[in-house]
């Protein structure tokens, strides 16, 4: 983080607090496109947006209204490596676990719990490709139907969903259910492969259709597993 200081022999410029806790240096404000730092609740030193700790006094900070990608230190996008998500999460988790602050004051203990809760929410969302796709769309102002194929409006998707559901309902043995489950998994893999370039190209209409399809295929795969267990018990 940039040090707030002047040339040798001059007194450092004290940060100035702005409304809402934001600070700048000598009133000049943050660089264009760079969020202004905030004042630490403990020592009033500058804390960059997204930082969990004050660099001056090391106090844990409020989690703030960060998106999940920023919170985990990841580049926003669909094509994320699972191992990288895990690495970032567990590194932050070790730093912010509430047990590390058991001997601190009540405010810092509460803030560490808030940080841990926000961190867990970010991790649970981004590690799941379906949740990640839906979250990326919501960040762009697009809501994907949470009920999947129950209220599909795209006629092609609706026809496919009805066909697969009817086939699953008609399946009378484990082998028949397995055929449907394998088809659903192939289609799920295809959706995941196509989502990354759709998001990368900014084609949100296509990304939305793929996410809706992925949602009902995932639900169908879960139902197929349930049917398989039920059929297996009747053997």
Reduced to 3 states (helix: H, G, I; strand: E, B; else coil), residue 9 is coil
DSSP state of 65: S
Two tokens, residue 34: 């760079």
Contact 132, 123 (CB under 8 A): no
> pLDDT band at 21, cuts 50/70/90?
very low
CATH top-level class for 146-233? mainly alpha
Least confident of 15-29, 80-94, 147-161, 219-233: 15-29
Cα separation, 40 vs 66, in Å, equals 17
DSSP string, 81-139: -HHHHHHHHHHHHHHH-GGGGTTS-HHHHHHHHHHHHHHHHHHHHHHSHHHHHHHHHHH
pLDDT at 143: 84
Q: What mean pLDDT is reported for the chain?
A: 82
> Any idea which architecture 62-127 has in CATH?
Orthogonal Bundle (1.10)
pLDDT at 170: 84
Is the pLDDT reported for residue 183 higher than 80? Answer: yes
- Classify residue 27 as left (phi > 0), alpha (psi -120 to 50) or beta: left
pTM, rounded to two decimals: 0.77
Beta strands, E only, the chain = 15-17, 23-25, 38-39, 46-47
Over residues 207-218, the pLDDT tens digits come to 999 999 999 999
Pairing status of strand 46-47 against strand 38-39: antiparallel
Is the pLDDT reported for residue 11 higher than 50? Answer: no
Sign of torsion, CA 41 45 51 55? negative
Percent of the chain with pLDDT over 70: 80
Reduced to 3 states (helix: H, G, I; strand: E, B; else coil), residue 15 is strand
Domain positions in the chain: 1-59, 62-127, 146-233
> pLDDT band at 1, cuts 50/70/90?
very low
């Amino acid at each position: 983080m940039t040090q707030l200081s002047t040339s040798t022999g001059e007194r450092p410029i004290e940060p100035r607090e702005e409304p809402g806790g934001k600070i700048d240096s000598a009133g000049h404000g943050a660089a264009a496109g760079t969020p202004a730092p905030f004042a630490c609740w403990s020592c009033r030193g500058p804390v960059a947006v997204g930082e969990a700790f004050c660099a001056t006094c090391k106090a844990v900070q409020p989690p703030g209204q960060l998106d999940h990608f920023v919170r985990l230190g990841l580049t926003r996008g669909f094509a994320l490596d699972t191992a990288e998500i895990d690495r970032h999460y567990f590194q932050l988790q070790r730093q912010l676990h509430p047990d590390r602050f058991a001997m601190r004051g009540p405010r810092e203990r509460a803030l560490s719990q808030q940080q841990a809760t926000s961190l867990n929410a970010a991790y649970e969302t981004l590690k799941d490709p379906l949740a990640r796709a839906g979250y990326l769309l919501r960040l762009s102002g697009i809501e994907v139907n949470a009920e999947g194929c129950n209220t599909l409006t795209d006629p092609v998707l609706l026809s496919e969903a009805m066909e697969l559901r009817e086939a699953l309902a008609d399946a009378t043995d484990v082998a028949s259910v397995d055929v449907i489950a394998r088809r659903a998994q192939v289609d799920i893999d295809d959706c995941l492969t196509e989502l990354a370039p759709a998001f990368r190209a900014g084609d949100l209409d296509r990304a939305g259709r793929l996410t809706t399809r992925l949602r009902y295929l995932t639900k169908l795969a879960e139902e197929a597993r349930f049917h398989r267990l039920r059929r297996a018990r009747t053997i």
